Structure 1
Amino acid sequence: MGSDNFEWHWYSRLGMAWSVYGQNIQGTSLNLLGFGIGGRYEEGDYSEPTFVAHVVKGATPEDFYVKSEMTFAIWNQYGGPFMQPSSNGGQSITVQFNQAYIEAGNFLTPGLSVWGGARFFREQYAPIGDYFYLDDLSGQGGGLKYENLNLAILGYRAFGATLPAYNLDTNADGAVDVERFRTIFAGNYKFEFGGEAKHHVKVHGEAHVLQAAKRGEGIAVPENGKADFGGVIGAKLHLGLGQGNWSDTSVRFGTGIANGAAGGAKTYQTWGLPNDEGTYAGSFAIEAVEHVGFRIGDVAALEGLATFHYTKAAYEAEGAAAPLGPEKQMDFSVQANAAIFAHKNFHPVIEASFQGRKDGEADLGTAVKVSVVPTLVPTGELSTGARPHFKLIYTAAFYNDAAREQALSPYLQRTGAGSNVGHYIGARTDWYF
Structure 2
Amino acid sequence: MNPILHLSCDPAHDARCAPRRGTVSALLGAALWVSPAVVNGQPTTTPTPAPEAPPAVVNAQPPPPPTPSPAPVPESGFFFGGVGRVVAATDAEMGPGRDADIVWRGSRLDESTYIQMDLERQDHWESTGATTRVAVRLVVDAPVLHYNNARPWNINMSVRNAFVEERDLGVKGLSVWVGSRLYRGDNAELLDFWPLDWLNTLGGGVRYDLPSKRTYFAAHAGVNRPLSPYYLQTVERPPALNQPGAANVNLLDRQRLISSVKASHTVPVGEKGGVKGVLYGELHQLPSGTRETAEAGVVERLPRDSGYVVGAQISPFTGVNNGHLHLFLRYAGDLAAYGEFGAPTQPAPDGTATGAHELLFTLSGNYETGPLGLMAAGYVRSFRNASEPFDFADLDEGILLVRPHLYLRDWGGVAVEASYQAQRRGRVPPPADPAAAGAHPAASHHSASLVRLGLVPFLNAAGKGDFKRPQFRFIWLVTRRDDGAKALYPQDDVFSQRTWEHFIGLNVEWNIKASPAF
Q: Quick check: TM above 0.5?
A: yes
The secondary structure found in structure 2 opposite 1:347 is strand
Q: Is 1:236 aligned to residue 313 of structure 2? A: yes
Give 4+ residue runs of structure 1 displaced > 6 Å after superposition: none
Q: Distance in 2 between matches of 1:288 and 1:300?
A: 27
The secondary structure found in structure 2 opposite 1:273 is coil
Q: Is 1:299 aligned to residue 382 of structure 2? A: no
Q: Distance in 1 between matches of 2:505 and 2:381?
A: 30
1:283-432 to 2 correspondences below 5 Å = 283-296=356-369, 298-317=370-389, 326=392, 328-361=394-427, 362-379=445-462, 381-407=463-489, 415-432=494-511
Post-superposition offset of 1:382:
0.9
Q: Distance in 2 between matches of 1:413 and 1:349?
A: 34
The secondary structure found in structure 1 opposite 2:350 is coil
Contact 1:202 1:235 survives alignment (8 Å)? yes
Post-superposition offset of 1:127:
1.6
**Sequence identity of aligned pairs in percent?**
19
The code of the aligned residue for 1:289 comes to T
Moved more, 187-196 or 240-249: 240-249
Of the three residues 85, 110, 117, the one matched with 1:13 is 85
Q: Distance in 2 between matches of 1:103 and 1:59?
A: 17
C-alpha spacing 1:349/1:273, structure 2 compared with 1 (3 Å): same
Aligned residues: 394
By relative contact order (CA 8 Å, sep 6+), the higher-ranking structure is 1
Give the match for residue 303 of structure 2. 226
Post-superposition offset of 1:101:
0.5
Contact 1:101 1:117 survives alignment (8 Å)? yes
Q: Distance in 2 between matches of 1:23 and 1:167?
A: 38
The code of the aligned residue for 1:404 comes to K
Give the match for residue 202 of structure 2. 140
The secondary structure found in structure 1 opposite 2:484 is helix
The secondary structure found in structure 1 opposite 2:479 is strand
Give the match for residue 57 of structure 1. 124
Contact 1:315 1:327 survives alignment (8 Å)? no
The code of the aligned residue for 1:154 comes to G
Q: Is there any run of 5+ residues in structure 1 with no aligned partner, and where?
A: 261-265, 319-324
Post-superposition offset of 1:132:
1.4
Give the match for residue 330 of structure 2. 252
The secondary structure found in structure 2 opposite 1:259 is helix
Post-superposition offset of 1:91:
2.0
Q: Distance in 2 between matches of 1:363 and 1:170?
A: 38
Post-superposition offset of 1:195:
4.3
Q: Distance in 1 between matches of 2:345 and 2:204?
A: 29
Instruction: Report the RMSD for the aligned CA atoms in angstroms.
Output: 2.7
Give the match for residue 321 of structure 1. none
The secondary structure found in structure 1 opposite 2:485 is helix
The code of the aligned residue for 2:310 comes to I
The code of the aligned residue for 1:240 comes to F
TM-score, length of structure 1 as denominator length: 0.84
Q: Distance in 1 between matches of 2:256 and 2:372?
A: 46
Q: Distance in 1 between matches of 2:452 and 2:83?
A: 26
The code of the aligned residue for 1:146 comes to Y
Q: Distance in 2 between matches of 1:355 and 1:85?
A: 29
Give the match for residue 155 of structure 1. 223
The secondary structure found in structure 2 opposite 1:364 is strand
Q: Distance in 1 between matches of 2:102 and 2:407?
A: 30
The code of the aligned residue for 2:141 comes to W
Provide, for residues 206-261 of structure 1, a one-character-per-residue CA deviation record: whole Å limited to 9, x for no partner.
1111112269xxx97513x101111110000111246542211111111110113x
Contact 2:90 2:96 survives alignment (8 Å)? yes
Post-superposition offset of 1:177:
4.0
Of the three residues 169, 186, 192, the one matched with 1:107 is 169
Contact 1:317 1:327 survives alignment (8 Å)? no
Q: Distance in 2 between matches of 1:73 and 1:30?
A: 23
Q: Distance in 1 between matches of 2:234 and 2:165?
A: 39
Post-superposition offset of 1:276:
1.1
Give the match for residue 185 of structure 1. 259
Q: Distance in 2 between matches of 1:284 and 1:169?
A: 26
Contact 2:344 2:353 survives alignment (8 Å)? no
Q: Distance in 1 between matches of 2:300 and 2:175?
A: 42
The secondary structure found in structure 1 opposite 2:258 is strand
C-alpha spacing 1:4/1:169, structure 2 compared with 1 (3 Å): closer
Q: Distance in 1 between matches of 2:152 and 2:276?
A: 46
Post-superposition offset of 1:10:
2.7
The secondary structure found in structure 1 opposite 2:118 is strand
Contact 1:354 1:369 survives alignment (8 Å)? yes
Provide, for residues 350-401 of structure 1, a one-character-per-residue CA deviation record: whole Å limited to 9, x for no partner.
111100122223411101111111112233x111222222211100111110
Q: Distance in 2 between matches of 1:4 and 1:330?
A: 49
Q: Distance in 1 between matches of 2:173 and 2:118?
A: 24
Contact 1:72 1:96 survives alignment (8 Å)? yes
Contact 1:407 1:416 survives alignment (8 Å)? yes
Post-superposition offset of 1:407:
2.1
Contact 2:225 2:341 survives alignment (8 Å)? no
The code of the aligned residue for 2:283 comes to A
Contact 1:191 1:200 survives alignment (8 Å)? yes
Q: Distance in 2 between matches of 1:301 and 1:168?
A: 49
The code of the aligned residue for 2:92 comes to V
Provide, for residues 144-178 of structure 1, a one-character-per-residue CA deviation record: whole Å limited to 9, x for no partner.
1111111100112122xxx24x435799xxx9841
Q: Distance in 1 between matches of 2:337 and 2:90?
A: 38
- Higher Cα Rg: structure 1 or 2? 2
Post-superposition offset of 1:278:
0.7
C-alpha spacing 1:17/1:376, structure 2 compared with 1 (3 Å): same
Contact 2:91 2:502 survives alignment (8 Å)? yes
Give the match for residue 263 of structure 1. none
